[in-house]
Structure 1
Amino acid sequence: MRSRFAAGALAVAVTALLAGATPALAQPQAPATATGTAVQQAMDRILANGAVGVQVRTTRDGRTATATAGSSVLGTPWAVPDDGRFRIGSVTKMFIATVLLQLVEEERVELDAPVSRYLPGLLPDGDTITVRMLLQHTSGLYNYTDALPLDDGEFLAIRFRPYTPHELVDLSTSRPLDFAPGTDWAYSNTNYIVLGMLIEKVTGRSWDTEVAARITTPLGMLATSAPRGSVFIPAPHARGYHPVAGVPVDTTELDPSWGGAAGEMISTTADLDLFLTALIDGRLLRSAQLAELTSAKPDTDGYGLGAFARNTPCGLTAWGHSGGIPGYTTLAFTTLDGSRRMEASVTNGLGPDSEDAVYGIVDAAICG
Structure 2
Amino acid sequence: MLRTSSALVAALLAAGVVAPAAAPHRAGERTALQQSLDAVVATGVPGAVAEVRDEHGTWRGSSGTADLGSGRHAQAGDKFRAGSVTKTFVSTVVLQLVAEHKLGLDDAIEQHLPGLVPNGEHITVRQLLAHTSGLTDYLTDVLMKRPNAVQDLQKATYTPRDLVAIAAEAGPKFAPGSSWSYSNTNYVVLGLLIEKTTGHPLGQEIGRRIVRPLHLTGTSFPATTKMPGAHLHGYEWFNGAPAAPSDTTDFSLSVYWGAGTLVSTTHDLNSFYRALGKGELLPPALLREMRTMRSDGPDRPGRSYGLGLEDSTNYCAGTGQRPVWGHTGSVAGYNTFSFTTADGKRQITLSLNQNITKNEKQDQAALKVLSTALCRK
Q: Does 2:262 match 1:277?
A: no
Q: Does 2:236 match 1:239?
A: no
- Which string of whole-angstrom CA distances, capped at 9 and with x for unpartnered residues, describes residues 317-367 of structure 1? 211000011111111111233211111110126353243333332222112
Task: Kindly indicate whether the alpha-carbon contact (under 8 Å) linking 1:243 and 1:349 is maintained by their aligned counterparts in 2.
Answer: no
Which aligned pairs between 1:156-305 and structure 2 lie closer than 5 A? 156-228=151-223, 230-246=224-240, 247=243, 248-298=245-295, 301-305=303-307
**Structure 1: gaps (5+ residues):** 1-30
Match of 1:78 among 60, 72, 77: 72
> Per the alignment, in what secondary structure is the counterpart of residue 302 of structure 1?
strand
- Which string of whole-angstrom CA distances, capped at 9 and with x for unpartnered residues, describes residues 204-262 of structure 1? 1122111111100111111111111x111112112110121114211111211110000
> Per the alignment, in what secondary structure is the counterpart of residue 190 of structure 1?
helix
Name 2:312's counterpart in structure 1: 310
> Per the alignment, in what secondary structure is the counterpart of residue 324 of structure 2?
strand
| Percent identity for Structure 1 against Structure 2 | 38
Task: Kindly indicate whether the alpha-carbon contact (under 8 Å) linking 1:322 and 1:330 is maintained by their aligned counterparts in 2.
Answer: yes
> Equivalents in 2 of 1:319, 1:137: separation in Å?
17
Which aligned pairs between 1:1-368 and structure 2 lie closer than 5 A? 33-61=27-55, 63-74=57-68, 78-146=72-140, 147-149=142-144, 153-228=148-223, 230-246=224-240, 247=243, 248-298=245-295, 301-311=303-313, 312-313=316-317, 314=319, 315-348=321-354, 350=356, 351-353=358-360, 354-367=362-375
Name 2:22's counterpart in structure 1: none
> Per the alignment, in what secondary structure is the counterpart of residue 336 of structure 1?
coil
Task: Kindly indicate whether the alpha-carbon contact (under 8 Å) linking 1:318 and 1:334 is maintained by their aligned counterparts in 2.
Answer: yes
Moved more, 116-125 or 334-343: 334-343
In terms of fraction of residues, the more helix-rich structure is 2
**Structure 2: gaps (5+ residues):** 1-24, 298-302
Structure 2 counterpart of 1:307, which letter?
A: L
> Per the alignment, in what secondary structure is the counterpart of residue 330 of structure 1?
strand
Task: Kindly indicate whether the alpha-carbon contact (under 8 Å) linking 2:154 and 2:251 is maintained by their aligned counterparts in 1.
Answer: yes
Task: Kindly indicate whether the alpha-carbon contact (under 8 Å) linking 1:161 and 1:255 is maintained by their aligned counterparts in 2.
Answer: yes
Instruction: Give the CA deviation at 1:155.
Output: 1.8
Moved more, 262-271 or 250-259: 250-259
Q: Quick one: structure 1 residues 278 and 149, their matched pair in 2 at CA, closer, same or farther if it must change by over 3 Å?
A: same
Task: Kindly indicate whether the alpha-carbon contact (under 8 Å) linking 1:86 and 1:266 is maintained by their aligned counterparts in 2.
Answer: yes
> Per the alignment, in what secondary structure is the counterpart of residue 270 of structure 1?
helix
TM-score calculated relative to the size of structure 2: 0.84
Q: Quick one: structure 1 residues 41 and 152, their matched pair in 2 at CA, closer, same or farther if it must change by over 3 Å?
A: farther
- For these two proteins, the number of residue pairs brought into alignment is 337
Structure 2 counterpart of 1:280, which letter?
A: G
Instruction: Give the CA deviation at 1:287.
Output: 1.1
Instruction: Give the CA deviation at 1:99.
Output: 0.5
- Which string of whole-angstrom CA distances, capped at 9 and with x for unpartnered residues, describes residues 26-56 of structure 1? xxxxx96233233234323322433110001
Q: Quick one: structure 1 residues 204 and 77, their matched pair in 2 at CA, closer, same or farther if it must change by over 3 Å?
A: closer
Q: Quick one: structure 1 residues 36 and 316, their matched pair in 2 at CA, closer, same or farther if it must change by over 3 Å?
A: farther
Q: Quick one: structure 1 residues 322 and 150, their matched pair in 2 at CA, closer, same or farther if it must change by over 3 Å?
A: farther
Name 1:11's counterpart in structure 2: none
> Equivalents in 1 of 2:338, 2:169: separation in Å?
33
Moved more, 195-204 or 65-74: 65-74
Task: Kindly indicate whether the alpha-carbon contact (under 8 Å) linking 1:329 and 1:345 is maintained by their aligned counterparts in 2.
Answer: yes
Q: Quick one: structure 1 residues 198 and 72, their matched pair in 2 at CA, closer, same or farther if it must change by over 3 Å?
A: same
> Equivalents in 1 of 2:73, 2:266: separation in Å?
16
Task: Kindly indicate whether the alpha-carbon contact (under 8 Å) linking 1:152 and 1:244 is maintained by their aligned counterparts in 2.
Answer: no
Q: Which has the higher contact order (CA 8 A, sep 6+)?
A: 1
> Equivalents in 2 of 1:153, 1:44: separation in Å?
32
> Per the alignment, in what secondary structure is the counterpart of residue 90 of structure 1?
helix
> Per the alignment, in what secondary structure is the counterpart of residue 50 of structure 1?
coil
> Equivalents in 2 of 1:141, 1:345: separation in Å?
29
> Per the alignment, in what secondary structure is the counterpart of residue 244 of structure 1?
coil
